[in-house]
Each structure stands twice: as C-alpha cells, then as structure tokens.
Chain A
Amino acid sequence: MFDYLANPTRFMRLADYTVWPLRLIAAAGLLIGSWLGLASSPADYQQGDAVRLMYVHVPSAWLALSSYLMLGLASLFFIVWRHPLADIAARAIAPAGAGFAFLTLVTGALWGAPIWGTWWVWDGRLTSMLVLFFFFIGYLALANGFDRPERGARPAAILAMVGVLNLPIVKFSVDWWNTLHQPASILRSGGMAIDSAMLWPLFTMFAGLQAFFLLMVIQRMRLLLGQARLARLADQQEAS
C-alpha cells in the first residue's frame, strides 16, 4: 500500500476523494460538538461549567500526542525506506501538531486554574506535553533552518525519531522527580467519573477535531507538492 501511495500523482488523486468527506465531518463535528459542549450538555456535579473545557482539552491532547507519533513514523519511513511522500507528510503534520500541543497546554491551564486552584503543575503529563511542544518547535526550526529547504529534511527526520524515543524517558524522569517531591495529588488521570451525557460532546468534538487535523495534513501535503510542481514548471518554462 505504501509503495502504491508513494507515487505523488496517485496520492494526489486519492487525497482528492478524502477532502470533501473530511470537510463535512470536521464541520459537522465542530458545530454539533460546540453546541453540545457549550449549551446542551449538563454542567458537572463538582466542577460546574468548567468541565466544558474538557471537550476541547482532551481531544487536543490526543491530537498533540498522536500527531507527534505520526511525525516520528513519517520520519522513520523517510529515513529508512526513503519514501518520497514521507517528508512531505512530516512537514504537513508538524505545524498542526504544534498548534494542538499549544492548545492542550493553554486549555489545560484554563481548566486547572478554577478547579484545582493552580494554573500549572510540574507533573509527568503536563511537563511531557510542554517538552513535546518544545520538540515540535525544534523540529520546525530545524526543518526550516537551512537556506535550501530540502537540506533540512533528513536532519529534521533524525531529530523527530530521537525525540519520539526521548519523550517517554522525559515523562518517566518527571514522574520520578515527583514521587520524591509530593506534588498536588489532585491530578489523578482517570479520577473523573464521566457522565454519559458528557460522552456525546466529547466524542463529537473528538471526531470533528480529528477530521479537521487529517484535512489540514492532506491539504498541506497537496500545497507542498503543488508548490514543488509549480517551481518545476516555472524552471521548465525559463529553460525553454
């Protein structure tokens, strides 16, 4: 399958089919999810209306983490199998992933401040998310840090792979640090009992944001491929 998709023209043609479905799912998911999340669903027994931030925070966190893994995987494909589209995919993933990492941090802080009385806590998960954001920034800086754009592709790919390996170690080290420093034990991960009425807005926002993310990756890939094609055509024209 990957060899089949390696052909840029074939990929472009297949990608065309996915665009409208993704646009519809994203739009529907976001509109319905926003309505469910902000208006129609009930407030939480303990957290009140602040719980509504969960509907944007949790999907953002998932997208930040999964996009980072996708980045690592695409980089692996690029380095090991020299898959031509893998670098394009990685460059398409990074900006959106960084954005969602940032959103995760901000919405998490906004959620934590009223509920747990603190804007930030240096526990394993929050700190890893911060480091993940730094990794994304580093990746983008490296990939775009050379005068010739293609020159940055392989270093960035190497960095992405090393970063993916490093992230669990970072999380472990921070957890380790925290076992000795007794931080606020308030942030138990599965601690919230999620009412079934809350599952709907969560699920819908999840679907909408995930579709949006995939749409952005595909559109950005088409953008990058198209820019390359335009440049080649322009060169051809100059030469003739």
Chain B
Amino acid sequence: MRFFLTCLAADLRASLTEPGDILAQLGFFIMITALFVLAAGPESDRLALIGLAGLWMAALASMVPAFERLYEAEARSGWLDQLLVSPQPVWVFVLAKAAGYYISHAVPLLLASPLMMIWLTLPLALLPVVLASLGLGLAGLILLGALGAALTLGARRGAILAAILVLPLSVPLLIFGVLAGQAALSQAPVAPHLQLLAAAVLFLLVLMPLATGFALRTAAENG
C-alpha cells in the first residue's frame, strides 16, 4: 500500500509539474469535439442523436496516442529495471501509474465534458450518466493502455502500435458506455449498461496489472 502511494505520488508530481502534456491532450479533446460538431452540422437535429458517439470518440482519440509514453520516464532512468529486481510487486506499480494517469489525464476530460455536452446539444440532465459512464470507460481504457504501453515498449512506431492494440480491446467499453447515455436519453433503464461497464472495468482492474507486470518484465529482459 505504501509502495502504491509512493509510486502514485511520484507519478502525479511528475505529470503535474509539467502540465504541458495534460493541457495538450485536453486541447486535443476539445478540438476534436468541435470539429465533430462542425462535421455533423451544428444546426441539425442529427447532432443530438450522435452527440454521445462524438463525445466518446473524441475521448478515445485524445487518450490513446499518449499511452506509448506511459513508462518513458521510468524506463529511461533505469528505475524500471531496478523495480523488476526488487521485491516490490510490479502490478502495484502498474496500478499506481494507471491511477496517476487517470487523475492527471482523465479527470480534466471529465471536467470539460459539460461544455462538450453543450456543444453537442446533449441535455445537461444527462450529465450524471455521462460522467459515470465516461468515468468508468476511461478507467478501463487506461488499464488497457497500461498493457498496450508495456507491450510496445521499445517498438518502432510505438504510439500507433499501442493504439492499434488497445482500440479493438476497448470495443465493449465503448458500447456499454454509449448505451448508458443513450438509455438516459430515451428514458430507458441506465443501470444494466453501467453494471456491465463496471463489470468490464473490474475485470480489467484484476487482469491488466498482472498482464502488464509480466509484459514489463519481458520488455526489460529483452530490452
């Protein structure tokens, strides 16, 4: 637990002292949403129908490209190699990195979502459902990204490769998340979709850190 908090603190300190990355990602999210609105035609009723899809796609598009650099600092400084020979469990480190990434990169997106919803002409009454579904979905996505980043450590074209690996795996998250919002839009029960989404995220929470730890070990051994 202590180790988890130490890693988390270090990660947050690193990302928050240089907020350039976070702001760039947030800017990308906002820009993609704006372009989506323009592409769909801002005056049309169509926009309200596909607004949820646009929101989710913008979130995915802004999160996925940055995964490659998740372990960059630790790998370059050799800290990762030291961790792997230490008695500390690697999965705890992975979980801490994921949590840190969530706090520094996902939360800004969630904070920006009310404005995005206005642009996409989504009723603000949906905000709780959107925050819940997007919040869970981004958690799952980051867990997948943690694995993707570990698998592509040291690969050529790591960013696009990590994206290619993560996106197909994230289809269930996307589907359950959008369905939750759509259910809210049509006054249908939202709970089943959120429950499925939560179950998927829980599954990833258990599996991904372990698989990622294994992948990191592989990457370090074969450098």
Q: A residues touching B (Cβ–Cβ < 8 Å)? A: 79, 127, 131, 134-135, 137-138, 141-142, 145-148, 150-152, 154-156, 158-159, 162-163, 165-166, 169-170, 172-174, 176-177, 180
Contacts and interface: CB of A to CB of B under 8 A. Distances in A.
B20 interface: no
A176 B177 CA distance: 12
Among B152, B161, B169, B200, residue most surrounded by chain A Cβ atoms (within 10 Å) = B169
Contacts of B111: none
B171 interface: yes
State the majority secondary structure of interface residues on A. helix
B155 A142 contact: yes
Nearest to A147: B156
Contacts, number: 87
Contacts of A154: 215, 218, 222
Contact of A141 (B164, B179, B196, B207): B164
B149 to A, nearest CB: 11
Interface string B205-222: 001000100110011001
B168 interface: yes
B222 A151 contact: yes
A141 B168 contact: no
A204 B62 CA distance: 49
B218 A146 contact: no
B197 to A, nearest CB: 10
Contacts of B171: 127, 131, 170, 173-174
A147 B219 CA distance: 13
B40 interface: no
Given A173-B175, A176-B196, A159 B161 contact: no
